[in-house]
Structure 1
Amino acid sequence: MAHANPELIQALRRTAQKLSSGNPYQWGHMGSCNCGNLAQELTQLTKAQIHEFAMQGRGDWREQVEEFCPTSGLPMNLLISDMLNHGLTTSDLQNLERLSDKKVLARIPLERRDKMRHNYREDVVLYLNEWANQLEEDLLPSIKLDLSFMNQEKAVPTLETA
């Protein structure tokens, strides 16, 4: 699973929010599908640019990720590399496109999980939010806060009489 980091968590949440608010969604379009919407958020490329890059290769996100070669110089491979640099893995991208990560799905109640469709906007939003929640839970134990200032004696102001 992805390397939990605040930037990725926020990108997942922003993607879910934008989809909830009506951002273009079309599962069969490489720039506005599940991965395409997250790619827009992480890379700041437009859906048209992402789709154009993808059309230079063959297949959907799953297939292009399977054929991913970080040294090819092909635009889609550069895009995938950029997404991986944000903490994702190639498995994450394949799972996102089909909403199939078992850890994420296990967080969703069975009666809802059994009705999920990989190409349905509301299911993508649910998956993205649960994935962000999972990554946040993974990240929290590694955050160390310095609370030593709370143990220091506080100077109590006193009134001095002359």
Structure 2
Amino acid sequence: MARPSLELVVALRTTAARLEAGAAYQWGHLGQCNCGHLVQTVCRAEPRTIHAWALERQCDDWGDLANEYCPTSGHHIDDVIATLLALGLTRGDLWHLERLDDEAILATLPGGRRWLRRNDRADAVAYLRAWASKLEAELPAAAAAAAAA
């Protein structure tokens, strides 16, 4: 699970707000899918650029990109993934974000929902907000642990 940070919480909430406001959303487009939208927020890159970088790797989705990640490959998309990892995300977080299926996040959803559609805008917004809230709740504990170290 991601390392809690205010920067990551803000990125998740900003991404959710942009999606809710009607930004172009296509789960099959690597720059307009769940991870693609977070990359737009964090890297300030255009969807078509993100998509082109991802296709350099010849992977079908962000789960595959995360699995194939190599920090010394020279591929632009690996630089993007390195930026996401530096923000506190894990490769597993990218896999789960693309599929909206991290059980720890799903458990925090209101109404007891335990399954989301990975290609549904409203479900992506709900997942991003739930994740941000979960990380935000962990911030004081994370700060205390860092101070004690």
Q: TM-score, normalised by structure 1?
A: 0.84
Question: 1:112 offset after TM fit, Å?
Answer: 3.3
Within 1, Cα distance between the matches of 2:24 and 2:101?
22
Question: CA-to-partner distance for each residue in 1:132-156, whole Å, 9 max, x for gaps?
Answer: 0000011123457xxxxxxxxxxxx
Aligned to 2:93: 92
Q: After TM superposition, where is structure 1 displaced by more than 2 Å over at least 4 residues in a row? A: 109-114, 140-144
Q: Kindly indicate whether the alpha-carbon contact (under 8 Å) linking 2:31 and 2:49 is maintained by their aligned counterparts in 1.
A: yes
Question: 1:113 offset after TM fit, Å?
Answer: 3.0
Q: Kindly indicate whether the alpha-carbon contact (under 8 Å) linking 2:54 and 2:77 is maintained by their aligned counterparts in 1.
A: yes
Within 5 A, what are the aligned runs for 1:29-108? 29-59=29-59, 60-108=61-109
Question: 1:24 offset after TM fit, Å?
Answer: 1.0
Q: Give the unaligned 5+ runs of structure 1.
A: 145-162
Alignment partner of 1:4: what SS?
coil
Aligned to 1:129: 129
Q: Give the unaligned 5+ runs of structure 2.
A: 145-149
What fraction of aligned residue pairs are identical, expressed as a percent?
Answer: 44
Within 2, Cα distance between the matches of 1:107 and 1:62?
23
Within 1, Cα distance between the matches of 2:83 and 2:112?
36
Within 2, Cα distance between the matches of 1:142 and 1:36?
27
Within 1, Cα distance between the matches of 2:15 and 2:74?
27
Q: Supply the AA of the counterpart residue of 1:131.
A: W
Within 2, Cα distance between the matches of 1:67 and 1:142?
29
Within 5 A, what are the aligned runs for 1:107-118? 107-109=108-110, 112-114=113-115, 116-118=116-118
Alignment partner of 1:113: what SS?
coil
* Aligned pairs, number: 143
Q: TM-score, normalised by structure 2?
A: 0.91
Q: Kindly indicate whether the alpha-carbon contact (under 8 Å) linking 2:103 and 2:114 is maintained by their aligned counterparts in 1.
A: no
Q: Which has the higher helix share?
A: 2
Aligned to 1:152: none
Aligned to 1:6: 6
Cα 1:65–1:143 change in 2 (3 A) is closer
